[in-house]
Amino acid sequence: MANSTTIYLLRHAESQHNVTKDFSLRDPGLTPLGITQATALRTTFPALSSIGLIISSPLTRTIETTIAAFDPIISSGQAKLILDPLLQERSDLPCDIGSELSDLKERFPGLGFNDWEKVLEEGWWTKAGLFAADDETVRKRAGEVRRKLLGCVKELEGKERKYIVVVTHGVFMKFLAEDEEIDLAKAGWRGYKAVEKEDGEVGLIEI
């Protein structure tokens, strides 16, 4: 049975490699248009007053999207921010390989994480193990994200701010939503409910 908490899947805004098609760029950031797209979410994103948790991929373009869109409710303490490497993009092309911790600390000094090593394990960007780029592993990773999301839903249930935003990537979103056809615009979103399936797995139902 689906619960009452809405989970929004949000695709990052326009990034540099989306425009240049230079996929050799490692962990590219947003373009000026991308910053504009993400900032516009401060007024266009639904149910901002109900969002209590934002979970973002740790790639630069998703962090920049998260900050531009949701900094007012994060910095005020109204919503909690979590970086989760499980949300990183599927491929092992340089554009989808995250930055080392020292680079992220320097790039985002005001993000508020006092101990980045506890947030992101060393080597999370290496595309090995659970982060490997093959379909079977990515499918397993997406299933783990859905299970974690259901746990977050249960923790937030009954609270005034119980909605969740997941800031991730276009291809990984297909695995996460279990929908090969989903192809959101840059900075586009879609709402879901988490549901426990008969086989014990967790699914997302579009609303």
pTM: 0.96
How far is Cα 84 from Cα 111, in angstroms, rounded to an integer?
14
* Whether the predicted pLDDT of 3 surpasses 80: no
The domain ranges of the chain are: 7-206
Task: Check residue 170 and report its DSSP letter.
Answer: H
Beta bridge partner(s), residue 90: none
Residue-wise pLDDT for 134-169, tens only, equals 999 999 999 999 999 999 999 998 999 999 999 999
CB 194 within 8 A of CB 55: no
Q: How far is CA 28 from CA 24, 99, 183, in A?
A: 9, 9, 20
> Which structure tokens are listed for 29?
């950031």
What's the CATH number for 7-206? 3.40.50.1240
Give the mean pLDDT of 5-25: 96
* Whether the predicted pLDDT of 2 surpasses 60: no
* Whether the predicted pLDDT of 192 surpasses 70: yes
Q: Residue 141's closest CA among 170, 110, 172?
A: 172
> Which structure tokens are listed for 72?
């007012």
CB 94 within 8 A of CB 23: yes
CB 55 within 8 A of CB 164: yes
Task: Check residue 99 and report its DSSP letter.
Answer: P
At 1, the pLDDT band (50, 70, 90 cuts) reads very low
At 122, the pLDDT band (50, 70, 90 cuts) reads confident
Q: Residue 84's closest CA among 109, 62, 100?
A: 62
* Whether the predicted pLDDT of 175 surpasses 50: yes
